Amino acid sequence: MSNTIDFISGCPGFNCSNSKVPFTWVHRHCGGKEWLHDDGNVECKNCSLKLPLIAWKFKCTGHSDYREANKQKICEILSISSSLKKSDLAFQSKILAAISKMMI
């Protein structure tokens, strides 16, 4: 079983300049806040939809449409994520390893 933290990070959407602005991510279909699992998945706290982080689409104040994640930006946002800074080093290592495997 994986560990989770609240998913708070910059936007990993393609061509978005908000990669350093922290957002508390919510699921577009039900409005539930999202968890980030150390296995690289994102899960909606409300409806329990769970998918790999690289499969989610993102919308923030920087763009009005939902955009696929820029896989290179994912590692960047995870390294500066405010929720990850509050978590332990083991979680950070696990999630970065899991995301790296997903990108291969």
Given the structure tokens 């769970």, which residue do they identify?
50
Which pTM was predicted? 0.82
pLDDT digits (tens, 9 = 90+) for 21-80: 888 999 999 999 999 999 999 999 999 999 999 999 999 999 999 999 888 888 777 776
Q: What is the pLDDT of residue 82?
A: 56
Q: What is the pLDDT of residue 97?
A: 86
CA distances from 51 to 15, 35, 41, 54 (A): 22, 11, 5, 8
* CA gap 37, 53 in Å, rounded: 9
Amino acid at 103: M
